[in-house]
Amino acid sequence: MDIRELVKKYEQDIINDTIELASIRSVEEEPKEGMPFGEGPAKALQCALAIGDKYGFVTKNLDNYAGYIEMGQGEDIIGMLCHVDVVPEGIGWSSDPYKPEIRDGRIYGRGVGDNKGPAMVALAAMRAVRELGVPLNKRIRFVLGANEETGFRCVKYYREKEGGFTMGFSPDGAFPLVFGEKGLYNATLTMTLNGEDPKTVIKSITGGEARNVVCPVCTVVLEGENLDAIKEGFEKYNGGNEAVKTKAAFENGTLTLELTGRPSHGSAPQFGVNSISYMIDFLKGYITDSPFVNMYSELIGLCFDGEKCGAKCGDQYGDLTMNIGIVYTEGNKASFTIDIRYPIIAHFPQDVMEKAFTDAGCVIEHGKCDKPLFVDPESDFIKALHSSYVEVTGDTKSQPFTMGGGTYAKAFDNVVAFGMCFPGDTGGNAHMADESIAISRFADGCEVYVRALLKLLEL
C-alpha cells in the first residue's frame, strides 16, 4: 500500500485523538499522591496511554511521571519522545483553550501544537509501520512525559527506570531536523524591593506564569507620594513600542498600574514584548531609590541578549537569549526568573553574569545549567531522518539546523528534535493565545515519520 494513502486513512483518528487529549488542562500543579505533577498532567498521560491501548499497542505507565507505547522486539530501541503537559493558557484567547475548535482547517487549543497534536501524529506513524508489515527487528518505543515544560523530571525518571535509546527523535521541534540545541540556564533571583524610607512605595509587582514564556502582563501596586504624576505618565507611556498598552486606577489610596506586552516562546524573546521589562523601564523614571528597579534597569533593561549583565555571547549556531518570565514580591523582597539559551560552541560567561547580579544585591536560587546538544549532522542517523523529510516534501533547500528551544533530545544520547513545524509555516502560536495546528500537516508529518522509522529499522 502507498504510504501516503495509508497515512491519510488515519487523519480523522489523529484529529479526534488530538482534540481528546487537548481537552485536558495539563499544566503542572501541586503534586498529589501518585501524581507527581498534579492531576492534570497525570490525567493527560493516562489518556494518551489509553489511546495507545485502543490501537493495540503495549503500554506502560511509570508512576505518572512518564509512560510509553511500544511495538517490536530486540535489544535496539528507536525512541520517539513527546510530552503531554502544557504551559498555562494565559490571556487573549478567542475561544476556550480547553475546548478545542476546528476553524479554517486548523485545530485551536492549548497544547494542540506543543505537543499533543504531533504526539498523535507520531502514534499514527507507528500504526502505519505496523500495517505495512515490515520486520520489526528493533523496538519502537513512543515515550510520553508529563513535565517537559517545567523541568524534565519526567524523562529523568524514565531514564532511571528504563535507560536510553539506540537512536531516536522528538516531534517537538521543526523540520527538516534540529541537530543542535542551545544550552539552558534557569534561575530565580531575589533581592530587596524598596529602599529605606521611600517616598513612593512599591507594594507589589506580579507578572508571568511560566519561566519559558515572555511575560504578557505585569501589574504594580504603589502607595505614597507622586501618584498622580505617575498615573498621568503611565497612561502616556509605551516605551517606544506600539504593542505596549497601559492602564492605571486608584483604589483605597493605592495606585495600580497594568502593562500589557506580547507573549512569545522564551527561547525567542525577540518576538515578544516583555511586560516586566517595560514596566521597570517606566518605573525607573519615577522611583530612583528602589534597589530592585535600579538593578533591573542596569543589568537587564529592555535587552534580551544579556549584554548588560555580561552574559552576551554567540557562535555560528546562534546568539544567547535571555527571558524574564515571572516576577513576584513577598514583603520587601522581589523575585524573578531568568531563562537563558546559550550558544552551542561559544563559551557562556556564567560566572561573569552571576557575579554582576550578586554584586548588585541578588541572591541566586534554583540555578540550573543544562549543556547544549550536538549530534553530527553527517552521521547516517541524521541523513536517514533528513532524507525522509526530503522524500515527502521535495524540499532540498531547507537544511538541518540548530535552535534555542530545549526538547527531550537533550536528556538522551543520539536523539534529535524532528518536526512537526514545517519551514514557512506560520500561526502555530506555541505558548501563546490561540495556539493551533494545521490539519493539512497531519498527513505530511505522519508520512515523514513513517519513512524515518522504516529507515531507522534498517540501520
330 and 364 both lie in a single domain:
yes
Which domain CATH number covers 58?
3.40.630.10
Q: What is the pLDDT of residues 219-238, one digit of tens each?
A: 999 999 999 999 999 999 99
pLDDT computed for residue 12 by the predictor: 98
pLDDT over 90 percentage in the chain:
94
175 and 188 both lie in a single domain:
no
Expressed as residue numbers, the domain containing 45 is 3-181+373-458
276 and 289 both lie in a single domain:
yes
Backbone angles phi, psi at 7, to 5 degrees: -70, -30
Flag whether pLDDT at 95 surpasses 70.
yes
pLDDT computed for residue 368 by the predictor: 81
Q: Is 164 exposed, middle or buried (0-12, 13-18, 19+ CB in 10 A)?
A: middle
Euclidean distance between CA atoms 259 and 219, whole angstroms: 6
Which residues, 6+ apart, have CB-to-CB distance to 273 below 8 Å? 214, 241, 243, 244, 261, 262
pLDDT computed for residue 25 by the predictor: 98
Domains in the chain, number: 2
Which domain CATH number covers 341?
3.30.70.360
215 and 346 both lie in a single domain:
yes
**Last residue of a domain, which of 323, 347, 370?**
370
Is the separation of the CB atoms in 158 and 81 below 8 Å? no
301 and 402 both lie in a single domain:
no
376 assigned to active site: no
Number of H helices, E strands in the chain: 11, 24
pLDDT computed for residue 151 by the predictor: 87
pLDDT computed for residue 259 by the predictor: 98
Cα 267 off chain centre by = 8
Is the separation of the CB atoms in 44 and 109 below 8 Å? no
Catalytic residue among 17, 28, 85, 258: 85
Give the torsion sign (CA, 54, 79, 4, 2). Answer: negative
pLDDT computed for residue 366 by the predictor: 76
> Where does the pLDDT of residue 1 fall: very low under 50, low under 70, confident under 90, or very high at 90 and above?
low
> Where does the pLDDT of residue 428 fall: very low under 50, low under 70, confident under 90, or very high at 90 and above?
confident
Euclidean distance between CA atoms 417 and 431, whole angstroms: 18
Whole-prediction pTM: 0.81
In single-letter form, the type of residue at position 452 comes to: A
Chain mean pLDDT for the chain: 96
**Last residue of a domain, which of 354, 370, 386?**
370
136 and 213 both lie in a single domain:
no
Backbone angles phi, psi at 168, to 5 degrees: 180, 175
DSSP code string of 354-389: HHHHHHTT-EEEEEEEE--EE--TTSHHHHHHHHHH
Catalytic residue among 114, 148, 444, 447: 148
Euclidean distance between CA atoms 189 and 208, whole angstroms: 15
Q: What is the pLDDT of residues 306-318, one digit of tens each?
A: 999 999 999 999 9
Q: What is the pLDDT of residues 224-277, one digit of tens each?
A: 999 999 999 999 999 999 999 999 999 999 999 999 999 999 999 999 999 999
**Last residue of a domain, which of 370, 398, 433?**
370
98 and 216 both lie in a single domain:
no
317 and 210 both lie in a single domain:
yes
85 assigned to active site: yes
> Where does the pLDDT of residue 113 fall: very low under 50, low under 70, confident under 90, or very high at 90 and above?
very high
364 and 394 both lie in a single domain:
no
Average pLDDT for 191-220 = 96
Q: Which of 340, 334, 429, 438 is nearest to 90 (CA)?
A: 429
Flag whether pLDDT at 106 surpasses 70.
yes
391 and 345 both lie in a single domain:
no
Euclidean distance between CA atoms 15 and 175, whole angstroms: 21
159 and 280 both lie in a single domain:
no
pLDDT over 70 percentage in the chain:
100
211 and 294 both lie in a single domain:
yes
